Amino acid sequence: EAEVAQSPRYKITEKSQAVAFWCDPISGHATLYWYRQILGQGPELLVQFQDESVVDDSQLPKDRFSAERLKGVDSTLKIQPAELGDSAMYLCASSLDPGRSYNEQFFGPGTRLTVL
Amino acid sequence: AQSVTQPDIHITVSEGASLELRCNYSYGATPYLFWYVQSPGQGLQLLLKYFSGDTLVQGIKGFEAEFKRSQSSFNLRKPSVHWSDAAEYFCAVHSNTGNQFYFGTGTSLTVIP
């Protein structure tokens, strides 16, 4: 069964360092999402891609966060510099058909980030 | 604006007992509603979804949920809980503009023998 892949699964870093997370969506899925899930809360959308284009990054802290999906397949989310408040689970999800009003989102296992 | 409220942060039930997890939503139109489950250290798995029609929807793992428009609720139920059901459960509403989800804060379920 096809799955969304994410790496690393766990990352510990010191504040002010740079970190990067990778996501490989299910093959053929045009839409890719990055969510941040702070402990005790539900996931919040950071950025949404349609193929290689950003559709929504209104909740992305652009002073320190960046995301790219250069070839419209896999994606990288970067934080530079990391702050203590960035400690969270970062979830990637993908969905199939951009032309429909609803597409089921399939989630990866997430990357657990701890900033010391 | 869309929002989801899960009033129970944590619930403990005995194995074999029935379960109901509460979810209330705020949405301007007919909502698309979902329940996801998240096991420790894992991503989210879809349990069930409601778009329209029959207000009682069946999902995986023996779960069901009932949409009640008058109460703006979409509560999740299971008649007999198994120890493997211990996890975090999230209710979500879908915005049909942009295919975006708005999640509740989750309910943590503990199952005791």
pLDDT-wise least confident of A64-73, B37-46, B69-78, B93-102: B93-102
pLDDT of A94: 93
CB contact under 8 A, B98 and A91: no
For residue B29, name the pLDDT band (cuts at 50, 70, 90): confident
Once rounded to an integer, what is the mean pLDDT over residues B68-82? 95
Contact A56, B100 (CB under 8 A): yes
Q: Give the residue on A whose Cα is nearest the Cα of B89.
A: A42
Looking at the complex, report in whole angstroms how far the Cα of residue A50 sits from the nearest Cα belonging to chain B: 10
Whether residue A97 lies within 8 A of chain B, CB to CB, comes out as no
Number of domains in chain A: 1
pLDDT at A22 over 90: yes
**Percent of residues, chain B, with pLDDT higher than 70:** 95
User: What is the extent of the structural domain holding A83?
Assistant: 5-98+106-115
| Closest Cα in chain A, distance from residue B82 (Å) | 23
Q: How far apart are CA B80 and CA B18, in angstroms?
A: 5
Domain CATH code at residue A93: 2.60.40.10
Best mutation target among B32, B38, B44 (most A Cβ atoms within 10 Å) is B44
When CB atoms are compared, the residue of B9, B99, B103 closest to A95 is: B99
Confidence band of A101 (pLDDT split at 50, 70, 90): low
Q: Is the sign of the CA dihedral B2, B50, B81, B61 positive or negative?
A: negative
**Token pair listed for B75:** 């509560």
Which superfamily does CATH assign the domain made up of B3-112 to?
Immunoglobulins (2.60.40.10)
CA distances to A24, A28, A91 from A2, in Å: 11, 10, 17
Mean pLDDT of chain A: 92
